[in-house]
Structure 1
């Protein structure tokens, strides 16, 4: 196959060149009726079409979409690739639907993305959560240890598979080949949430991609590091441990019946760009990131996550394009530092947590972007230095007891209850706090007194909370028994 092709992109432009009478949706008619602010992008909007002759159908691909997916499969080393227009979230959800039936167990890292919750609710699966390694210096989660995975496989012989994160949001990878070997030894499939690792195959200075490590399925957010439009992703299958037919059915159920051809075309074009220019673009990005790392590592009060913090089970490798910058010893939270950078220096970072900033140097990052970041942090150190370092976070409570599956808790009647009265009740919602990005509660888990005390501390510090109906944590929604 010729990786210089972009068959879907070419078919869309060929369709536009024929100057059809467009008596079909979408209503803006290739940009003719678009609102005034978008008049300047009418050329792109011409490609916002629907399932017309010659443009194929994502839910039954036989033409240009099928070929575009086949080109992606060849490039990434998959047996079959599916284009996703509902983000990596839909890929993770579909894989859990393909693997599990109600009540069946699946092994999951506790720091899995919230897409996993949707998959558990749809499938009715019973999660077996494994605790990831914590890098205490940064207060963040890394990967699973081989020991934890081996123990879980022995204790749960009927589990339908193992999900891994490769890499984490912080760019950390575990010893994935070893984890895959442990699971395959007992014929269990391994599926990878590789949302932040689509660029790994294209430069030798990056961690090995999940498919190369032997996983049976991988979901990648092409838009995050590969250059496609936001919300466009890829799902790869390899081997026969994950049922292709069930996966396709799940995707057909979950994905929009009116998929965006702009998203699909961006996947095709981004795949071609990675195939033809990916190494060159990533070499430049890695070089810029290394320069920034060298400068920032010399600033007092600033600590960067590096190879010296790894070399332990669960923390095997690091993506050099992702800089984790701890501002803890400046006496600032990551949230405060991110606000200062945006307000005073016109710098937007990828993410902030209590201790850290996460900075992504991607294929489109410019030297000016990096210079503004460096200048902003240099001046922040000068202005804000001299404070007392942030204190350590209280120890996170142990994993709660699961009383119901997430699906059972989701479907059960529930009501809000003041946080101080929640001990002993079953949680009906998802509660995640950063640091360390590990959900404190899943639907169906019992809320213990230690958890209430910890959440009161979270509330006092106004930490970022995701999931609950009341993000201020005055109350939690609990199951009505």
Structure 2
């Protein structure tokens, strides 16, 4: 039985167990439906078995050895990956300006962080991709790479994997912003079938609830023990069920069609809007700049004049993030705003 079906199943047992709200006592009434599905590891429900089956089905969809559901964001996936492949005193190569979870994971493992830097594009003001010539893999146990970046800059994961393999280092890819990649050929290639560990945030672009995420494992190591060390023993089964539903949707004909429709509309914006320049490798991260405005001025104009808030801005460019929930109407209004700049 899937987690989704399990939560829909009516329980007829009298539970003198946790959670104490018993699915019927709603302190926060707006969340009453959430309370109804908030179960725990009781014999009546036995959600652990359903979770194992859901994760197994996910690994088949992604073609990975293991796929783990995360309810503490990609941060927990990064930490678990590092704990799984690194021992105290070993070195881990990380980008100097990476998400704080990268350095924290290394410290929690008792390992030694070694930093590499990335050049910043003068044309766009964003960090460029990670290439083999920018990293020194000799003597390190693992390498953590961010791809795509916030702004949608992607690295060649196959090239990086080759370098890591030659130096007996594990490759961990923070693909938090690339959860749509496995489901659309118009998007960059995902790392899930290349890197040893790949972490994706469903809540960033794939329509998931905060802070749902995935940890994909494609090596002979297990991340289960590491996840058990850092995760709660009382997970949110409604969130876990939402992950199962999220993956099922992305992998469905309807989900793949939705992704393509969003991309086609963005392609139309890029072909018809002539007064801004577009950049980046990932079309769902709309990276733009204007010849007569700085990135910050462009961001402020969009916000104040057109009620549009961007995801990230620098002195040169602005990035507007799109995902599975980006509506046709929202993109149409963005197009109108860009044309009026």
Name the counterpart of 2:293.
Answer: 331
Q: Is the 8 A contact 1:111 1:141 kept in 2?
A: no
- Flag structure 1 segments of 5+ consecutive residues without an equivalent: 1-5, 307-317, 382-481
Name the counterpart of 1:369.
Answer: 330
| 1:255 positional shift | 1.5
| 1:186 positional shift | 2.8
Q: Is the 8 A contact 1:345 1:376 kept in 2?
A: yes
- Return the alpha-carbon distance in structure 2 between the equivalents of residues 142 and 211 of structure 1: 21
Between structure 1 and structure 2, the one with the greater Rg is: 1
| 1:31 positional shift | 5.8
Q: How does 1:56-95 map to 2 (within 5 A)?
A: 56=46, 61=48, 63-95=49-81
Q: Is the 8 A contact 1:350 1:360 kept in 2?
A: yes
Q: How does 1:33-432 map to 2 (within 5 A)?
A: 33-36=26-29, 38=30, 41-53=31-43, 55-56=45-46, 61=48, 63-149=49-135, 152-153=136-137, 156-157=138-139, 159-212=140-193, 214-240=194-220, 243-244=221-222, 247-276=223-252, 277-296=254-273, 298-299=274-275, 302-306=276-280, 318-327=281-290, 329-334=291-296, 336-379=297-340, 381=341
| 1:373 positional shift | 1.8
- Return the alpha-carbon distance in structure 2 between the equivalents of residues 87 and 54 of structure 1: 29
Q: Is the 8 A contact 1:8 1:65 kept in 2?
A: yes
| 1:54 positional shift | 5.4
Aligned residues: 340
TM-score (norm 1): 0.66
Name the CA shift for 1:10/1:294 in 2 (closer, same or farther; >3 Å): same
Write out per-residue CA displacement over residues 288-325 of structure 1, whole angstroms, 9 at most, x where no aligned residue.
Answer: 211222233x01xx32215xxxxxxxxxxx11111111
| 1:128 positional shift | 1.8
- Return the alpha-carbon distance in structure 2 between the equivalents of residues 23 and 341 of structure 1: 54
- Return the alpha-carbon distance in structure 2 between the equivalents of residues 48 and 19 of structure 1: 15
- Return the alpha-carbon distance in structure 2 between the equivalents of residues 332 and 186 of structure 1: 43
Name the CA shift for 1:216/1:232 in 2 (closer, same or farther; >3 Å): same
Q: Is the 8 A contact 1:93 1:118 kept in 2?
A: yes
Q: Is the 8 A contact 1:133 1:144 kept in 2?
A: no
Question: Which of 4, 8, 17 pairs up with 2:3?
Answer: 8
Q: Is the 8 A contact 2:4 2:245 kept in 1?
A: yes
Query: Secondary structure of the residue that 1:141 maps to in structure 2?
Result: coil
| 1:55 positional shift | 4.2
User: Does 196-205 or 366-375 show the bigger shift?
Assistant: 366-375
Name the CA shift for 1:177/1:165 in 2 (closer, same or farther; >3 Å): same
Q: Is the 8 A contact 2:179 2:200 kept in 1?
A: yes
- Return the alpha-carbon distance in structure 1 between the equivalents of residues 204 and 32 of structure 2: 25
Q: Is the 8 A contact 1:11 1:54 kept in 2?
A: no
Question: Which of 8, 23, 35 pairs up with 1:30?
Answer: 23
